[in-house]
Structure 1
Amino acid sequence: MKILIIEDEKVLADSLKLMLESKGFEAEAVYDGESGEQYAMLNIYDLIILDIMLPKKNGYEVAKAVRAKRNATPILMLTAKSDVDDKVQGLDAGADYYLTKPFDARELLACVNALLRRQGSQVNELAFGNTRLDMESASLICGENSVRLSAREFEVMRLLMVSGEKHTSKETLLTKVWGYDSDAVENHVEAYVSFLRKKLISIGSDVRIEAMRRLGYHLECDEKC
């Protein structure tokens, strides 16, 4: 799970980043609203933690811009403002939840997990055909057979299982798995898809990763799924 932190208090932003990473999340921090909006528009994050009082663009403006682009990424808004009117303004701008500073780290984590569950992002496993992807062990499971996946194999398989029969482009996989600033190319995606195909066969899965020219990849299974 990738989380974007938009917070101008650098110490707080970096502390949040470290805390989230210690819980198994990937996290990036930016320190002004203009940069935050640019990052959010990449649409590669599972959650955005957004402060209101930011330089260049405030959190309300960032949230409105994100929602105007039909980006549905959950937004957890952080602020020192506790007035009801401020909370209403934040929710109207597109925030999903509002957390007032100062807050307890446990409270923040509970909010993060609740928002991810609401999006269907934080679940114990994904399934397609006769095969399950265990999110905790990063394993593909078919009946009594299982195989562990590397970190990138896991992320590629997770995205494919979430999309199912819908196409996932190579560009999307590159951005979400390797990162927008990576030097990885489409051959990297093809190599990891090849690894996954072999692992699916090794456990007797009926799931196939099919490629469609210019559209990317989707899942099919031998029996009707």
Structure 2
Amino acid sequence: MRILLIEDDKVLQSVVQQSLTDKGHRVDVAGDLSAAKYMWHVQCYDAVLLDLNLPSSDSQTAVPANGLHLLQERRHKGDKTPVLVLTARNRTDERIAGLDAGADDYLGKPFDLAEVDARLRALVRRSQGEDSTTQLAHLVLDRKGRRVLVHDQPLNLPAREFEVLSELMSPPGRTLSKKELSDKLSDFDEALVDNALETFISRLRKKILNSGATIRTLRGLGYLMEEERP
């Protein structure tokens, strides 16, 4: 998944970004209102992790509810990106305000990093109408458990390869261009180059060779996940 983390606390930024990156996600970080507005406008995200108490980089005094205003603005423009709001644990009014503004879920601070990942994945599955498990021939992808099975045997994949396979199987039979895959798997400041993507695809093809599933290259169009033809 490609995630936008909107959080001004530098320590929390670093910890959450590293945790989600270790899970194989691509995480862009915005530390103030202006950066958040710009990044959310120019890039499509699978999910947004939003702190409501977001300062502004403008010369004016920061307003505590800037994150809430940003969320309202995006929803008014028809943006349906799943949003997980971070709130102070005892601020019930803040949680209610976030949900009323269009947030999909909230998480109180302090929080467990594993729960952040689990909630984000659940929101994305819900928004895309996906089950947590997808099967193609004898290949099974379990997003919730972050595991892959071939003929019921576990297939160990590095985080980046798992994310590539997850995108290709969301759902199978859908053609994804190199740009679409690159956007999903890149950081805001560093794109995944074609050679690296081709390397991931090549490795995956070898690892799923006996699964009955295959990754086809459609020249000029991208990649397609489908069952092997007899």
Query: Under TM normalisation by the shorter chain, which class is it?
Result: 0.7 to 0.9
Q: How far apart are residue 118 of structure 1 and its match?
A: 4.1
* Count of matched residue pairs: 214
Instruction: Show the counterpart of 1:209.
Output: 215
Structure 2 unaligned segments of length 5 or more: list them: 58-65
* TM-score (normalised: structure 1): 0.73
Paired residue for 1:96?
A: 104
Shift of 1:156: 1.2
Aligned to 1:74: 82
**Distance in structure 2 (CA, Å) of the matches to 1:214 and 1:65:** 37
Cα drift, residue 132 of structure 1: 1.6
**1:164-185 superposed Cα distances (whole Å, 9 cap, x missing partner):** 1112121121122243432543
1:22 to 1:179, Cα distance in 2 relative to 1, 3 A: closer
Identity of aligned residues (%): 31
Alignment match, 1:29: 29
CA contact (8 A) 1:137 1:148 kept: no
TM-superposition CA deviations, 1:55-82 (whole Å, max 9, x none): 3382123223444565433212234593
1:186 pairs with one of 178, 189, 194: 194
Q: Partner of 1:117: helix, strand, or coil?
A: helix
Q: For 2:38 and 2:138, how far apart are their aligned partners in 1?
A: 40
Name the counterpart of 1:166: 174
What's the Cα RMSD here? Answer: 3.5
d(CA) in 2 for partners of 1:12 and 1:200? 38
Cα displacement (A) at 1:193: 1.8
Partner of 2:121: 116
Structure 1 unmatched ranges of 5 or more: none
**Which residue of 125, 142, 146 maps to 2:150?**
142
Q: Aligned AA for 2:195?
A: N
TM-score of the two chains, using structure 2 as the length reference: 0.72
